[in-house]
């Protein structure tokens, strides 16, 4: 009991900060395609600058290429890398042209590899890896390796040293080709796997949402059915309780009774559709605001200190009362699961034309239980119950630590409020 004589409830739970959606398989963030290409372009540009800076003096001094031609061929070989990021076939074609032109403009040098200098081998290998990262089809990647090798093969056939260099270059670039194809395959598999996991997560969210809505509809069936039963009994017995009723009034009461019976029959049929085959019929009355004290006591036994603050005048409407109870119950369950030992405060009050329900807890004092990551229907249920009555629910971390759930449920325009005592009337009597 607190200092106002109100019960304290030890309750459960606040979920970790997240969007109001059911738990789904955790998806690893993947780099956006545009972001990936930007990263690849920067990397290939840096490599192109390094290759260009080395290729120009190498071609001009060791291989005897004219300075302007050395600039041109080196620019073609190095520039093919960043171009391939945006236009793969353009980059592959420019690399092939550079590899073909260089032997025509240069001469073999003693001790220097020719017609494939080291810089050309590095550039060709890097291009194949880029094509693999871009998931170019394997035929395209194979062509980007085979064509440059085929066009330079004649140079190797006329010179023994050139043949050895060609074999070395072919072997090194073949390794790069294998790496490119492997990367392309792994990226394709990874992308398909991520899409499947995303689809599964989306389906899981929709399934949990539908299940929660169905559960809420089953719970509210009893509340609505009770009201229809009262209407039916009152309309059926009115001709016997009220003297001197006109024929028109008797006919009107008979129509009301028939309509209420039809509505109850349709509700039972609808409930049968909503109820799953493995769910047992619920025969106990739905709890309401009056049962929050008992809920507080049961939660307190779980070891979570919670104070319950109820306003003096609360609505007796069964839909609102049941929704308020369930919202508090879900929020407290989350506290118990995710913030054991946290001091929690629950308040239910009427502000203007709304019933405001607040559940706030401090940071957890104990480690969460093994089922802290399980469940997942709590916040969804709170959102759905609030939306069902035209209200709204908010939940998230508190600035100083802990968690807060705030639900606002409208009382409605024609809510039967008695201006004399501020409470809602139900069934024609002040509750």
Q: Which of 93-97, 125-129, 131-135, 148-152 has the lowest mean pLDDT?
A: 148-152
Task: Name the more confident of 205 and 80.
Answer: 80
pLDDT at 373: 54
Each residue's pLDDT tens digit, 236-257 = 888 878 888 888 888 888 888 8
Structure tokens at 215: 């559960």
Query: Three-state SS string across 220-289, please?
Result: HHHHHHHHHHHHHHHHHHHHHHCCCCCHHHHHHHHHHHHHHHHHHHHHHHHHHHHCCCCCCCCCCCCCCH
Quick check: helix, strand or coil at residue 315? coil
Distances 68 to 60, 106, 176, 207 between C-alpha atoms, Å: 9, 13, 30, 67
Confidence of residue 282 (pLDDT cuts 50, 70, 90): low
- Which residues partner with 351 through β-bridges? 354
State the pLDDT at residue 138. Answer: 72
pLDDT computed for residue 157 by the predictor: 59
The model scores a pTM over 0.85: no
pLDDT tens-digit readout, 313-357: 887 767 788 889 889 988 888 888 888 888 899 999 999 889 999
Q: What does the alpha-carbon distance between residue 242 and residue 234 come to, in Å, rounded to a whole number?
A: 11
Average of per-residue pLDDT across 84-103: 89
Alpha-carbon distance 361 to 322, whole Å? 22
Helix (H, G, I), strand (E, B) or coil at 67: helix
Looking at residues 286-297, what average pLDDT do you find?
A: 85
Q: Residue written as tokens 């945006």?
A: 86
* Whole-angstrom distance, CA of residue 303 vs CA of residue 319: 30
**Least confident segment among 8-12, 34-38, 119-123:** 8-12
In this predicted structure, the answer to whether residue 294 has a pLDDT above a threshold of 90 is no
What's the confidence (pLDDT) of residue 52?
94
CB 406 within 8 A of CB 394: yes
Q: Are 330 and 376 in contact (CB under 8 A)?
A: no
Residue 302 tokens read as 């779980």
**The predicted structure's pLDDT at residue 137:** 72
* 16-65 residue pLDDT tens: 333 344 443 444 445 567 888 899 999 999 999 999 999 999 999 988 89
> Could you tell me if 337 and 372 are in contact, meaning their C-beta atoms sit under 8 angstroms apart?
yes
Confidence band of 142 (pLDDT split at 50, 70, 90): confident
What pLDDT was estimated at residue 338? 83
């Amino acid at each position: 009991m607190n200092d106002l004589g109100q019960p304290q409830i030890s309750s459960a739970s606040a979920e970790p900060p997240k969007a109001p959606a059911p738990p789904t398989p955790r998806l690893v963030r993947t780099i956006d395609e545009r972001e990936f290409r930007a990263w690849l372009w920067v990397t290939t540009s840096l490599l192109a600058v390094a290759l260009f800076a080395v290729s120009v003096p190498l071609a001009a001094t060791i291989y005897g290429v004219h300075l302007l031609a050395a600039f041109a061929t080196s620019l073609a070989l190095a520039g093919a890398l960043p171009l391939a990021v945006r236009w793969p076939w353009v980059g592959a074609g420019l690399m092939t042209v550079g590899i073909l032109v260089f032997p025509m403009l240069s001469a073999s040098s003693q001790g220097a590899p020719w017609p494939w200098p080291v810089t050309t081998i590095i550039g060709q290998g890097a291009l194949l890896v880029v094509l693999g990262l871009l998931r170019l089809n394997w035929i395209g990647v194979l062509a980007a390796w085979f064509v440059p090798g085929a066009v330079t093969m004649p140079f190797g056939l006329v010179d023994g040293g050139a043949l050895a260099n060609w074999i070395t270059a072919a072997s090194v670039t073949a390794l790069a080709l294998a790496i490119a194809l492997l990367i392309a395959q792994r990226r394709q598999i990874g992308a398909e796997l991520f899409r499947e996991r995303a689809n599964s997560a989306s389906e899981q969210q929709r399934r949990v949402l539908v299940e929660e809505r169905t559960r809420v509809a089953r719970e509210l069936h009893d509340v609505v059915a009770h009201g229809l039963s009262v209407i039916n009994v009152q309309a059926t017995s009115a001709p016997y309780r009220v003297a001197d009723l006109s024929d028109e009034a008797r006919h009107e009461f008979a129509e009301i009774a028939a309509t209420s019976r039809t509505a109850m029959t349709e509700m039972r049929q609808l409930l049968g559709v909503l109820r799953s085959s493995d769910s047992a019929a619920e025969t106990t009355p739905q709890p309401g605001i009056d049962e929050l004290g008992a809920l507080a006591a049961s939660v307190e036994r779980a070891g979570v200190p919670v104070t319950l603050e109820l306003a003096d005048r609360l609505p007796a409407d069964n839909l609102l009362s049941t929704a308020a109870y369930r919202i508090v119950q879900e929020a407290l369950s989350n506290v118990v699961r995710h913030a054991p030992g946290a001091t929690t405060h629950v308040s239910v009050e009427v502000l203007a034309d709304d019933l405001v329900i607040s559940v706030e807890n401090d940071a957890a004092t104990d480690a969460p239980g093994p089922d802290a990551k399980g469940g997942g229907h709590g916040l969804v249920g709170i959102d759905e119950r609030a939306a069902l009555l035209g209200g709204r629910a908010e939940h998230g971390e508190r600035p100083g630590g802990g968690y807060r759930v705030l639900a606002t449920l409208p009382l409605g325009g024609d809510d039967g409020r008695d201006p004399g005592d501020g409470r809602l009337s139900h069934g024609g009597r002040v509750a």
